[in-house]
Amino acid sequence: MMFKLFRLQLLWSITLIAFYAGTNELVLCATRLSADECPEVAPWIPKLRSADQRKRQRAKESILTFSSRSPNSRQCVIKPMQKIVDEIVASPDGGFLLAAKYPERYAEWIEATDILGTMKATEAMDSLIECLDYNNGTTDFGIGHFPATKAIVKFGDQAIPKLEGALQQKPPGIRVMAAQALHAIGGEKAKSILEETLKTEKDEGVATRIRNMLIGWTSSGKPQPWTGILKRINTVLVCRYRDPRRSAERCL
């Protein structure tokens, strides 16, 4: 009995050592690559992984200030930030697994996506599209817990063509968040794209989300906050319950 217990403890210890060794290797790799891309920004990059949100914010502000000095400074920032995002996309531990196993890398990725969005770094749009649905496992209506989606929305109308492409080509999770991003950007062009997408979308889960977004769209072409959308959806459900023959449009 004691021997079996010892074996279990030994196996658990080996697992923990391997886990943390992998974590340290991943973190050190990110630091080295980022430093090579942009030595001027390298001292701030480790601070993007800090557990202290204030330190991360100060580092992010310093990086953004540096990026505004010149076109070369801007490119110097974009390259390592995009590399951080690309490494996460290439990793098998994306989204929730990343947040659970490597919280420091997840924090770094959040700040990198926000920096790219704030800079409106069009060079990095494809990278952000690939991780629109990454988050820490917390979900709700809207984009609040999806850092890459929040970043892409900062591009405004510039992001619409890329988001339209994502709706046609990417997996369901990314398609949902691309639709959410279009909903957040708003405007008649975004609305038209969602309407056209709904005609051909084969995944019922994605189609339902898009349909609900369109229900909440006002006549001005601006989407309502999700609280307003939920009220309108409830109005439609009650109306259809009372008279199943009525369309959603006639219920509003």
3-state per-residue secondary structure call for 65-130: HHHCCCHHHHHHHHHHHHHHHHHHHHCCCCCHHHHHHCHHHHHHHHHHHHHHHHHCCHHHHHHHHC
Q: Which pLDDT value is given to residue 141?
A: 65
Q: How many domains does the chain have?
A: 2
Query: Is there a domain that residue 3 lies in?
Result: no
Whether residues 117 and 138 share a domain: the answer is yes
Whether residues 36 and 142 share a domain: the answer is yes
Domain of residue 172 covers 167-252
Whether residues 144 and 20 share a domain: the answer is yes
Whether residues 54 and 90 share a domain: the answer is yes
Query: Is there a domain that residue 56 lies in?
Result: yes
**Mean pLDDT on 38-60:** 93
**145-177 burial code (b ≥16 CB/10 A, e <16):** ebbbbbbbbbbeeebbebbbebbeebeeebbbb
Whether residues 132 and 56 share a domain: the answer is yes
Quote the tokens at residue 100: 């659970």
Whether residues 184 and 130 share a domain: the answer is no
**Mean pLDDT on 121-136:** 95
Quote the tokens at residue 55: 């330190």
pLDDT over 80 at 29, yes or no: no
Element (H, E) at 26: helix 2-37
Query: Is there a domain that residue 159 lies in?
Result: no
**Mean pLDDT on 92-101:** 80
Domain end among 124, 154, 184: 154
Whether residues 128 and 178 share a domain: the answer is no
Instruction: Report the range of poorest mean pLDDT among 65-69, 141-145, 192-196, 241-245.
Output: 241-245
**Mean pLDDT on 116-123:** 97
- Residue with the bigger pLDDT between 30 and 78: it is 78
Whether residues 46 and 132 share a domain: the answer is yes
Instruction: Report the range of poorest mean pLDDT among 5-9, 96-100, 199-203.
Output: 5-9
Query: Is there a domain that residue 210 lies in?
Result: yes
Query: Is there a domain that residue 108 lies in?
Result: yes
Q: Which pLDDT value is given to residue 26?
A: 43
Whether residues 218 and 96 share a domain: the answer is no
Quote the tokens at residue 198: 């709904």
Query: Is there a domain that residue 46 lies in?
Result: yes
Whether residues 181 and 139 share a domain: the answer is no
Using pLDDT thresholds of 50, 70 and 90, give the confidence band for residue 50.
Answer: very high
**Mean pLDDT on 188-211:** 94
Mean pLDDT of the chain: 80
Whether residues 216 and 121 share a domain: the answer is no
Whether residues 20 and 142 share a domain: the answer is yes
